Amino acid sequence: MIRRNRFCRLSLSEIVTILIAYHQSGMACFKYFYLDLCSNQEGLFQGLVHYDRFIKLIKTAFPALACLLKSLEGEKTEYLFIDSTPMAVCHNLRERQHKTFKGLAAKGKTSTGWFFGFKLHMIFNTKGEIIRLMITPGNVNDRTPVVDMMRGLMGKLIGDKGYLSKHLFQKLFEKGVTLITKIRKNMKNCLLEIQDKLMLMRRSFVETIFSSIKCLNTLIHHRHRCPINAFSYLFAGFINYQLRTDKPSLHSLFNLIP
């Protein structure tokens, strides 16, 4: 069998640029975005290839996207926020028929209900920048990846009640991290410094970040047919967010705290 090894007219940087530009376009369908690019913006690139060919080339950009996202890691601040959000890969009724992420995705539950897919665990600083990112199956407990994600970091970590754990608190405290969460009604109250209490009251700022990332409907959808391509789209979306200048931020509030 003869395999063709044609030279690609698109460079790696152009492939990465197109993937990131898609998340800035506001279009919910990548195919329509790429076809519009071929029709109206062809002069911006050396030579756009057919849509099916470009889909196959996305795999080659995955390592570059991962390295670029790592290089855009946010600044480490005294206060850090941690939370997770679901990434459904298909409708719940099609869970048993799904094949693309078979063996990778799992069924999980959040406060909004059941889903089949992955969990995106993220740590943000007060400027709204992503510090750490981890992707796990949907059935993984939110507390499980915290220690690994906080490796090499020190400061105060703020999370919701889902991260409430005496064992996790002690484990993080030994590494120089103070875990701050709200307590349940049947638990004894504990005193907090005024700065810590103010930042805990602003924990919902994380939900604003998730909403701003997902608002364009380009980050999470059910049309993927290849895991590497899916994670390439995902990383490109996070890179686009890191490059934004209008990220939700608590930095101004943080400077007002005496």
- Dihedral sign (CA 223, 229, 230, 232): negative
Q: Which domain holds residue 90?
A: 79-217
Q: What is the pLDDT of residues 153-170, one digit of tens each?
A: 999 999 988 898 889 999
pTM assigned to the model: 0.87
The helix (H) or strand (E) run that includes residue 35 is helix 30-40
2 is a domain residue: no
Q: What's the gap between Cα 134 and its chain centre?
A: 8
93 is a domain residue: yes
46 is a domain residue: no
| Continuous H helices in 41-118 | 51-71
Q: What is the pLDDT of residues 220-245, one digit of tens each?
A: 777 778 899 999 999 999 999 999 88
Given a cut of 50, whether residue 258 has pLDDT beyond it is no
Given a cut of 90, whether residue 215 has pLDDT beyond it is no
CATH number at residue 95: 3.30.420
Distance separating alpha carbons of residues 210 and 121, to the nearest angstrom: 11
71 is a domain residue: no
User: Which of the pair, 180 or 256, is modelled with greater confidence?
Assistant: 180
Q: What is the pLDDT of residues 55-108, one digit of tens each?
A: 989 999 999 999 999 999 988 988 999 999 999 888 888 888 888 898 899 999
Count of structural domains within the chain: 1
114 is a domain residue: yes
65 is a domain residue: no
Nearest residue to 162 via CA among 177, 183, 137, 178? 183
- With beta carbons less than 8 A apart as the criterion, state whether 98 and 105 touch: yes
- Give the pLDDT band (50/70/90) at residue 114: very high
248 is a domain residue: no
- With beta carbons less than 8 A apart as the criterion, state whether 124 and 141 touch: no
Confidence (pLDDT) at 139: 93
| Continuous H helices in 81-193 | 146-149, 166-173
170 is a domain residue: yes
